[in-house]
Structure 1
Amino acid sequence: MQKLSSFVCNQWQTGQGEGRVIRHAISDEVLWEVSSEGIDFAAACHYAKTVGAPALQAMTFIERAALLKAVAKHLLAEKAAFYEISRQTGATRADSWVDIEGGIGTLFTYASLGNRELPDDILWPEDPLIPLSKEGGFAARHVLTSKQGVAVHINAFNFPCWGMLEKLAPTWLAGMPAIIKPGTATAQVTQAMVKSMVESGIVPDGAISLICGSAGDLLDQLDSQDVVTFTGSATTGQQLRIHPNLVKQSIPFTMEADSLNCCVLGESVTPDDPEFGLFIREIVREMSAKAGQKCTAIRRIMVPATQLDAVRHALLEKLSTLPVGDPSQAGIKMGTLVNRAQQQDVQQQVDTLCQAGCERLLGGHIDPKLPGAGYPLTLLYCPQPDDTAAVHEIEAFGPVATLMAYRDKAHAVTLARAGGGSLVATFVTNDDHAARYFIAGAAHAHGRIQILNRDAAAESTGHGSPLPQLVHGGPGRAGGGEELGGLRAVKHYLQRTAIQGSPSMLAAVGQQWVRGATVHEDTIHPFRKYFEELQPGDSLLTHRRTLTEADIVNFACLSGDHFYAHMDKIGAEASFFGERVVHGYFIVAAAAGLFVDAGVGPVIANYGLEGLRFLQPVKPGDTIQARLTCQQKTIKRQRSAEERATGVVQWAVDVTNQHQEVVAVYSILTLVARRETDFPPDAIAE
């Protein structure tokens, strides 16, 4: 029997001894034997830390973002091979699309986030300057740096591609190598994707390792600079969380566990409302997608008692006609479970729920007419949800959900919270007051809540779709952890350190000028310098300009802004200001007139203004002056050889009056030409 190899220490290694067997979900044919016996996990960790980590950490965040995009493009070109292997797991084409292309899409998302929002540096200054002294000579910032270890990702079987990639994207962006331990039942799909990455030559040596089979003593090899993440059952996750070495070394552990997610129909919704149909559609989709093998699948269906019969009838009608079977056959909407063991597990949990007081409305028994590990769509009914603890505690990890009724909106919130913490809930309503009540009462028990109505339906990504931009995780039973959530996820793999010192020292450490730090002035206007020539701290103090009543009148006529504080002398005298004041936006415009160099030069365009604050009123007769300072620079990679080489420069602008009081502060972003292409083309899309 052929064994599925692992990839450690930059080579493919086959485990020894007898291992677990992977079977085809439809034909039950033996495909692989999986064993990691004999693999040196200490050596695997050492290689990742001494070879993979230095390679990744030598790259800036921008370069790592480019790596993510290059890997994503390569995998997208190879997707047909992954789809073919995914069919072995009982997944339909739609199921595999979420896993394969959804995972690749996460790489693209993090590539874009990193390129747009992270510095072109190996350090990430997280926040603005924090003053710590009266005169401003002592301050602090929090700086994020790469942990000097390896990230161990222990994944579930249900999403062999997405489960890996959604963790790998922020891990690599943070500069950490990863050891992937996929769920054994679908490890061949993960292995195919890792093999493709390795053979592409894009990924640095040691940046990724793969363990097919048991994790053995892997967790014993870790130290305080390492990170462990887990996706899977709550029971297994709880056992791993208290692993003696993880506890001893205070190793960060992030857990995302299966949970009793719910879908709640609002009290005011009737069968005549569009929301009723949306509710039914959402449940049917979530029960059938991946044959219910999703950590985000709907397990508990909560409806007003007045609509129980209508909902039951509608669900039975839709579920009983949904084509189930071999996903390779035309017209099949739901495939099978991953293997016979999973089939038996689902049956056991359904039996337990029924013994606890639930009733079978549809399915609930293994159907010999279904191929392989097939299991029928199963709808249960719980007549006493307050007294049946099992319905809020036991999960059948398959196409199974339980219907229950609530008395009023307070009871609905109580039932939604009864699951002990979940990844996601959906509340279906067109009543904004009802939505507010539900969120206020139930949000603390869920990691994500979708409010579904007629306005959101057309573009909704659905109850069960974690998005890279949003936190994926939940309290209590769901694991108490967070994954994804945009750049939040990257910070899980970075060390936050508070750095104290003078503003000039903090600017030097962070390679970003901060207010209060030393500035550098010379005879060349900053707008005459190319991107390479500019340095953080390069500054220009402009000449002065006295503002007049004529400026106020002219700007009001030009802009149409005739607000009384600018134009009504009597009204202004009775106002907070005591007299007429200059338009704030005119101050910004006048400051630009002071610091802009009008000639053709390296500055191509101004395409952003951030953090604008007006700190003091400016009155007719006041004199303003501006200081323009290069704050930070970010390279922009070229999409093609023909595209002009540029970078983005962020400038700090401080506008003062004749008393040296700051009247306005803000930052502007400019696109600045580079003298030559420092980086190869084909990089991050905006």
Structure 2
Amino acid sequence: MLELENSDSAAQHAADSTTSAAALKTLSSLVYGEHFVAQQHLRTVYHAISGDAIYQVGSYGIDTQAVVKYAKQKGALIAAWTFHQRANALKQAAQYLMARKEEFYALAQATGCTRKDAWIDIEGGIGTLYAYSSLVRRELCDEIAWVEDTWIPLSKQGNFGAKHILTPKAGVAVHINAFNFPIWGMLEKIAPTLLAGVPCIVKPATEGAELTHAVVKAIHESGFLPEGSLQLICGQTYDLFDHLNAQDTVTFTGSAATGQQLRAHPHLNAHSIPFSMEADSVNSAILTEQANDETIDLFVREIFREMTTKAGQKCTAIRRAFVPSALLDSVQDRLIAKLQKVAVGSPEQDNVTMGALASVKQKRDVAAKVELLSQDAEIIYGSHLRKDVEIQALNLEKSAFYPPTVLRCNTPLNAANIHSVEAFGPVVTLMPYTNLAELADLVARGEGSLVASIVRNLDENIEGLLTKITPWHGRVHILDSESAKESTGHGSPLPYLVHGGPGRAGGGEELGGLRAVKHYMQRTAVQGSPNVMTQVSHSWTAGAQVYEDRVHPFKKSFDELRIGERLLTARRTVTEADIVNFGCLSGDHFYAHMDKISAAESLFGERVAHGYFIVSAAAGLFVDAAAGPVIANYGMDNLRFVEPVKIGDTIQVELTCKQKTPKLQRDPEQKPHGVVVWDIKVKNQRNELVATYDILTLVEREL
């Protein structure tokens, strides 16, 4: 049973039994192609502002074995799609969701969010789909499998070697999400999963499940993803883990305690099922010792933003703020002055700048954690124990509002709770440090965090500090007056960067660009001959069979070209005039090319041709000048100059069609085309390789 409950929630359930079930809707689970509505063991969710019961959640009676089977039979169709097909479907789904964003904003009010807070969850989440779709279409070939590296020769003659190939796991990914970002938290996990070709089963937290349900329902309605590729269980997952196998993956976001219990599940361990955890952590902000007035303001602004955005309910929010001892009073005064201007209340009111926590249960939990923190630190502003903050609410008891709270610990080296207890709300503890060694020790006492921010003067060297704290963090955000102009902030995980952290933070990785896609794929070292590698990777491998034709390859359309088609060009002898003329044309008068005496004293022993002259001369040898299906040069990759070319050397080029990737036609008026990758090998008269690279051309298609 994956939704663990404490005595508070048990008491809440007892209260729920007095609520008329007929008066509330029950969220359905979207499983095995139907809306499953549970009739028993329902839990009621309450409006974070009004405290009114708004819906019920339960999953009792779901056939979890059938859920897994449905994903692997129906949803597995996505594994047969290419990367670009998956990416285009994700982009279309994102467009469909964005057109319906106002529906999601309306539902988000029940979670206590201001519109600005909800923007992070809704449009930030949808933006993650766009980002991943674009990344995959830009970086990966339009194939089902991912060839991760080039040919690795394993024999002297080159007839035996290997490549690492990534293929979709033949399973399902189970995503168990936290309550604080019911949309973004789901979308940032399913994006890399679906792009990897693996179907998903999502289990949202009960608070906020209505938002997750609305988005999944909309994705289903869009019809862009295969049936069964995305299922939703609202409620408990019961024996779901027992039906998983070694091809499956489980991810979890939430408390470290719950995550550790799930990670220790006997079935997961028995079958070596990958489990990725992103847990709560006591993230830090560090003000450097040489901080000036401007830097202090940046530091205070960052803490303020992390406290008030989403009412501090972010797994990346700043919980510990480390300040040079001499500056602690100044930081405290400036932070409290900013917090005194915060208007806490219903997001529907125009003047409100901070909303509520997700639930009354969460409010009680934050209050309990603040009391634990107060054993080590003095509460200097806010909390449920003081009357510093006026909250604009009709019924404080029923609502989930909690005031922004600042604590101060003057002796952090003698404290324990402030380094281990996280109040998951608008709470921060200020603490002093006296030197770098002490600071590094204090930071490490958090035992692993998602992110730390270092706020520095523009000209300050923080390399020593960075070296000491990076082992404890998944991300370090360095803020100064230059980066502050465009910084996305301490608490903003980005699709292209790793989101995760070591130790207490779970040791997992969410997001991280293409790294995250690889997490749901199986890496296999495939060994064999160059010919078999060409066959299985759809990419020509050096040493594999080549095909020659009297028709120049540049006269052939994308569809006519064959992988392995080769052109062996005419030869060209490099003269002194070539080198001098190229130097004059390019302006490159480097001594190794132009100064006979200095070149003789160099490692070359004499003048050599410019590397870029060799590239230009090679193009002159292999290009067909007449108009044809080749539209343009698209780029060059992997250029290496292997041997010098001297005056009198003769060069020849081997041009081989290495890989073909059709491109999506964005404009109906545009000619259909694709990208062709050509393997270029430039050799001298002794058949020695002097330069090697790939060129990419846009080539017209016949379709």
Q: 2:327 aligns with which of 286, 297, 307?
A: 307
Q: 2:383 aligns with which of 364, 371, 375?
A: 364
Give the aligned residue type for 1:211.
I
RMSD, aligned α-carbons: 1.1
**Distance (Å, rounded) in 2 between the aligned partners of 1:606 and 1:553:** 27
**Distance (Å, rounded) in 2 between the aligned partners of 1:14 and 1:194:** 16
Report the alpha carbon displacement of residue 370 of structure 1 after superposing the two structures with TM: 4.5
2:18: which partner in 1? none
Aligned pair in 2 of structure 1 residues 433, 330: CA closer, same or farther (>3 Å)? closer
Residues 64 and 243 in structure 2, CA contact (< 8 A), matched pair in contact too: yes
**Distance (Å, rounded) in 2 between the aligned partners of 1:595 and 1:518:** 20
**Distance (Å, rounded) in 2 between the aligned partners of 1:214 and 1:432:** 53
Look up the SS of the partner of 1:669 in the other structure: strand
2:51: which partner in 1? 28
1:170: which partner in 2? 192
Residues 435 and 451 in structure 1, CA contact (< 8 A), matched pair in contact too: no
2:73: which partner in 1? 50
Deviations 1:34-54 (A, max 9, x none): 10000000000000001101x
Aligned ranges 1:121-520 → 2 under 5 Å: 121-271=143-293, 274-354=294-374, 356-365=375-384, 369-371=391-393, 372-430=399-457, 434-520=461-547
**Distance (Å, rounded) in 2 between the aligned partners of 1:110 and 1:534:** 31
Report the alpha carbon displacement of residue 528 of structure 1 after superposing the two structures with TM: 1.1
- 577-586 or 11-20, which moves further after superposition? 11-20
Q: 2:586 aligns with which of 559, 569, 587?
A: 559
Give the aligned residue type for 1:589.
S
The number of residue pairs the alignment matches comes to 672
| 2:98 paired with 1:76 | yes
1:679: which partner in 2? none
Using the size of structure 1 for normalisation, the TM-score is: 0.97
Report the alpha carbon displacement of residue 431 of structure 1 after superposing the two structures with TM: 5.5
1:524: which partner in 2? 551
2:117: which partner in 1? 95
1:613: which partner in 2? 640
Give the aligned residue type for 1:259.
S
2:9: which partner in 1? none
Residues 343 and 391 in structure 2, CA contact (< 8 A), matched pair in contact too: no
Look up the SS of the partner of 2:307 in the other structure: helix
Percent identity of equivalent pairs: 57
Give the aligned residue type for 1:407.
T
**Distance (Å, rounded) in 1 between the aligned partners of 2:376 and 2:318:** 20
- 372-381 or 428-437, which moves further after superposition? 428-437
Report the alpha carbon displacement of residue 251 of structure 1 after superposing the two structures with TM: 0.5
Report the alpha carbon displacement of residue 177 of structure 1 after superposing the two structures with TM: 0.5
**Distance (Å, rounded) in 1 between the aligned partners of 2:345 and 2:174:** 36
Report the alpha carbon displacement of residue 135 of structure 1 after superposing the two structures with TM: 1.1
Q: 2:36 aligns with which of 13, 28, 45?
A: 13
Residues 270 and 307 in structure 1, CA contact (< 8 A), matched pair in contact too: no
Give the aligned residue type for 1:538.
E
**Distance (Å, rounded) in 1 between the aligned partners of 2:640 and 2:323:** 49
Report the alpha carbon displacement of residue 432 of structure 1 after superposing the two structures with TM: 5.8
| 2:659 paired with 1:659 | no
Aligned pair in 2 of structure 1 residues 611, 432: CA closer, same or farther (>3 Å)? farther
Look up the SS of the partner of 2:532 in the other structure: helix
Report the alpha carbon displacement of residue 483 of structure 1 after superposing the two structures with TM: 1.0
Report the alpha carbon displacement of residue 270 of structure 1 after superposing the two structures with TM: 2.3
Give the aligned residue type for 2:533.
L
**Distance (Å, rounded) in 2 between the aligned partners of 1:172 and 1:633:** 24
Report the alpha carbon displacement of residue 398 of structure 1 after superposing the two structures with TM: 0.4
Q: Which runs of 5+ in 1 are unaligned?
A: 677-686
Deviations 1:463-520 (A, max 9, x none): 0000000000000000001111110000010000000001111111100012222211
Report the alpha carbon displacement of residue 640 of structure 1 after superposing the two structures with TM: 2.7
Report the alpha carbon displacement of residue 396 of structure 1 after superposing the two structures with TM: 0.4
- 532-541 or 208-217, which moves further after superposition? 532-541
Give the aligned residue type for 2:467.
A
Look up the SS of the partner of 2:285 in the other structure: strand
Give the aligned residue type for 2:170.
Q
Report the alpha carbon displacement of residue 16 of structure 1 after superposing the two structures with TM: 2.5
2:20: which partner in 1? none
Report the alpha carbon displacement of residue 331 of structure 1 after superposing the two structures with TM: 2.1
Deviations 1:212-237 (A, max 9, x none): 00111111110000000000110111
Aligned pair in 2 of structure 1 residues 430, 514: CA closer, same or farther (>3 Å)? farther
Report the alpha carbon displacement of residue 607 of structure 1 after superposing the two structures with TM: 2.2
Deviations 1:261-319 (A, max 9, x none): 00000110022xx2221111111000111000000000000000010111011011001
Give the aligned residue type for 1:600.
A
Report the alpha carbon displacement of residue 652 of structure 1 after superposing the two structures with TM: 0.9
Runs of 4+ residues over 3 Å off in structure 1: 366-370, 431-434
Give the aligned residue type for 2:291.
V
**Distance (Å, rounded) in 2 between the aligned partners of 1:524 and 1:174:** 39
Report the alpha carbon displacement of residue 384 of structure 1 after superposing the two structures with TM: 1.1
**Distance (Å, rounded) in 2 between the aligned partners of 1:160 and 1:514:** 46
Residues 266 and 434 in structure 1, CA contact (< 8 A), matched pair in contact too: no
Residues 268 and 431 in structure 1, CA contact (< 8 A), matched pair in contact too: no
- 634-643 or 388-397, which moves further after superposition? 634-643
Give the aligned residue type for 2:251.
T
**Distance (Å, rounded) in 1 between the aligned partners of 2:191 and 2:561:** 32
Residues 344 and 391 in structure 2, CA contact (< 8 A), matched pair in contact too: no
Report the alpha carbon displacement of residue 369 of structure 1 after superposing the two structures with TM: 4.0
Report the alpha carbon displacement of residue 425 of structure 1 after superposing the two structures with TM: 0.2
2:627: which partner in 1? 600
**Distance (Å, rounded) in 2 between the aligned partners of 1:581 and 1:432:** 43
Give the aligned residue type for 1:404.
M
Report the alpha carbon displacement of residue 410 of structure 1 after superposing the two structures with TM: 2.1
Look up the SS of the partner of 2:483 in the other structure: coil
Look up the SS of the partner of 1:85 in the other structure: helix
Give the aligned residue type for 1:485.
G
Give the aligned residue type for 2:74.
V
Q: Which runs of 5+ in 2 are unaligned?
A: 1-23, 394-398
Using the size of structure 2 for normalisation, the TM-score is: 0.94
Give the aligned residue type for 2:88.
A
2:566: which partner in 1? 539
**Distance (Å, rounded) in 2 between the aligned partners of 1:479 and 1:473:** 7
Look up the SS of the partner of 1:616 in the other structure: coil
